[in-house]
């Protein structure tokens, strides 16, 4: 059983992640709401709004990294949290002076791995597009449901495995971390890069996509903000995902 300090840290982390995700969703859906609530909106205005929002989200992502890695890193230190449950406060712990990682080496490995993943992803997307055409799946369902489901399989397995071990702080971080990465960095970065390479992209999503994202974030926040979990809450999340997947599947092209 987790001690109150551990539960408090999980609760704080969940609240921070939930608040950050709410901000990201609010910023992403604003362009769609501008178009929905206005009679005539010039494309240039939507583009400028998307660029402004993208810059703000990237700044927020940088601040979240500062929060999690520097100023409040103890909230995300799973090793310290687990150590509190197993080691008494008066028992000394030994630190290995040679355990510090080689930062340059790991950054290089990460860079090479990222480039490799980019090439593999391009091949994977091409293969999936051909397969989905044969299965009669719409591009909307493929892009929103199928590709993230297959591409994030490793993350889902990791989250489930650590959750089974009652390591819910890490499970929540894994589950919400990838979503925050896409919302705060990947999508805004695509907006900015698209302007540079001549492939304009904005944050103008249709109303159906906006409502689906809002529902998903609200449900995730309601379930995770109490800092505790049980099998019924897990089933509610799976049921929500299944309903959203069915909605995207039957949504007309």
In whole angstroms, give the CA distance from residue 241 to residue 175: 13
Entry pTM = 0.68
For residue 227, give the 3-state DSSP assignment.
Answer: coil
CB-CB neighbours of 45 under 10 Å: 14
Per-residue pLDDT, 207: 80
- Cβ-contact 61, 184 below 8 angstroms: yes
Nearest 5 degrees, angle CA 225-CA 166-CA 86? 110
Per-residue pLDDT, 13: 67
- 204 CB-contact burial (10 Å; exposed 0-12 / middle 13-18 / buried 19+): middle
176-223 per-position pLDDT tens digit? 777 888 888 888 888 888 888 888 788 878 788 888 888 888 887 777
Per-residue pLDDT, 79: 45
Q: Per 3-state DSSP, what percentage of the chain is helix, strand, and coil (rounded to 5)?
A: 80, 0, 20
Per-residue pLDDT, 90: 47
Nearest 5 degrees, angle CA 36-CA 38-CA 41? 100
In whole angstroms, give the CA distance from residue 9 to residue 15: 10
Per-residue pLDDT, 19: 78
Residues 6+ apart with CB under 8 A from 46: 31, 34, 35, 202, 204
For the chain, give every domain's residue range.
4-85+108-250
DSSP state of 92: -
Pair of tokens at residue 152? 């994030």
Per-residue pLDDT, 77: 60
Per-residue pLDDT, 226: 66
pLDDT < 50 regions, the chain: 1, 79-90, 92-97
Per-residue pLDDT, 8: 57
Per-residue pLDDT, 80: 45
- Cβ-contact 53, 188 below 8 angstroms: yes
């Amino acid at each position: 059983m987790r001690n109150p300090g551990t539960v408090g840290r999980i609760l704080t982390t969940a609240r921070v992640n939930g608040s950050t995700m709410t901000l990201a969703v609010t910023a992403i859906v604003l362009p769609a709401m501008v178009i929905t609530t206005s009679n005539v909106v010039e494309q240039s205005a939507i583009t400028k709004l998307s660029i402004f929002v993208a810059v703000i989200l990237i700044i927020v992502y940088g601040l979240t990294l500062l929060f999690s890695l520097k100023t409040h890193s103890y909230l995300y230190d799973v090793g310290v949290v687990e150590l509190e449950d197993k080691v008494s406060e008066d028992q000394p712990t030994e630190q290995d002076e040679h355990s510090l990682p080689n930062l340059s080496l790991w950054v290089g490995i990460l860079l090479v791995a990222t480039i490799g993943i980019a090439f593999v992803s391009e091949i994977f997307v091409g293969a999936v597009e051909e397969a989905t055409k044969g299965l009669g799946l719409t591009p909307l369902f493929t892009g929103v449901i199928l590709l993230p489901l297959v591409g994030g399989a490793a993350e889902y397995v990791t989250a489930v495995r650590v959750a089974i071990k009652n390591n819910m702080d890490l499970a929540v971080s894994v589950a919400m971390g990838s979503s925050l990465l896409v919302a705060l960095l990947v999508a805004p970065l695509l907006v900015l890069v698209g302007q540079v390479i001549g492939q304009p992209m904005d944050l103008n999503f249709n109303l159906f996509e906006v409502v689906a994202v809002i529902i998903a974030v609200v449900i995730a926040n309601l379930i995770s903000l109490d800092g505790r979990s049980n099998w019924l809450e897990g089933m509610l999340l799976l049921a929500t995902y299944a309903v959203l997947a069915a909605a995207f599947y039957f949504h007309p092209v």
